[in-house]
Each structure stands twice: as C-alpha cells, then as structure tokens.
Amino acid sequence: MFPVCCGSFKEGLLAAAGREKIEGAQRFFIEDLLAAPKLNMTLIILLLGLGVGVLVGLLGIGGGVVLVPAMVYLLGMDQHLAQGTSLFILLPPIGLGALREYWKQGQVDLRAGILCAIGMLLGAYGGSLVALPLASRHLKGLFGCFLVVSAILLWRKAEFEGKPVAAKGESARG
C-alpha cells in the first residue's frame, strides 16, 4: 500500500523537479520498496509465531516440528539455519503459559517431566553432533522421514485412546 501511494506522489515530484531531484526521489522510492517486504516479512514471522504457539498449547509439543519446515519453505532458510534458529526459539520456556493451564487441571506428572528434561538435555547435544557434519540436503531428507515417523506415532496415539488394553503389546517396541 505505502509504496503505491508513494509512487504517485513521486511521479508528481519527478514531473516537477530537476534532474538531481529525480534521482534523489527515485532512490528514496527504491528504499521504500525494499523496506515494504521487510515489514511484510516481520509481520509474517510474528503471525507464524502465534500460529505455532496455538499448536504448542493444543498438542503439548515444542513447536519446532512445525517451525523448521515453516522457516525452510516460508522464509526460504537453509535446513541447518532453520534448525539452529528453532533451537534458539525453544530456549526460553515458551510452553510455560500452556503448562499453567494443564497444571490447573492436575494433568502433569512432574517426576516423569523432570526425568525427560534431563534425558533430552543430554540427547540433544548428541543429536547436534550427528546433524552438524551432514550435508543440508541429507539433513532435509532425514527431517522429512522423521516427520513421517512422528505423524504415524501421533496417529497411533489417537487410535490408542479408544482401546487402552490392545496397545499394551506395543511396549516391546521403541
């Protein structure tokens, strides 16, 4: 919007002003054009964060699994860069607001949660040592496979809700 109205304003300027002024005005116009997508990008990023946050609360996940592909495809990032940025976003306790809601309902196993936190801290470091030397292309492919596997697990989980006994035999796997 802004560059468009600016454009007509600038056309007026171009018609009225001398040669030097024209160049000055055009440069200004180009700066506007460059600034506008930046603003749009900022807006997209902010909205993306909000959307991912809703999923975090709704599904009790970290959000990285959505953030990484979103940054790769929407923001055009490299796979490694998207993953590093995602880890940065997960640094502050972004799930704290959501956790409060679950805590109020008594739906938290604190002991298991703390154990998981310690295990994940160590595991994550090991995982990063595996990922960093990989070529971006292979990492992207592996990420895709990982998404497929977690999708299947999530789906199984959804089915399992209905019949708790049938899935007992699954405990051997994993």
User: Is 36 or 77 the residue whose CB approaches another protein more closely?
Assistant: 77
Shortest distance, position 80 Cβ to another protein, whole Å: 4
Q: Whole-number minimum distance, CB 34 to another protein, in Å?
A: 16
Nearer to another protein, 5 or 110 (CB): 110
Nearer of residues 25 and 68 to another protein, judged by Cβ: 68
Closer CB to another protein, 18 or 126, in the complex: 126
Smallest gap from residue 21 Cβ to another protein (A): 35
d(C-alpha 166, C-alpha 142), whole Å: 31
- Which of 121, 142, 118, 122 is closest to 132 using CA atoms? 142
Q: Which is nearer to another protein, 34 or 153 (CB)?
A: 153
CA 127, chain centre distance (Å): 19
Closest separation in Å from C-beta 1 to another protein: 21
Please choose, from the candidates 31, 14, 32, 15, the residue with its C-alpha nearest in 3D space to the C-alpha of residue 23: 14
CA distance 56 to 12: 50
CA gap 48, 70 in Å, rounded:
8
Give the nearest distance from C-beta 28 to another protein in angstroms: 25
Residues in Cβ contact with 66 at an 8 Å cutoff, skipping those fewer than 6 apart: 52, 55
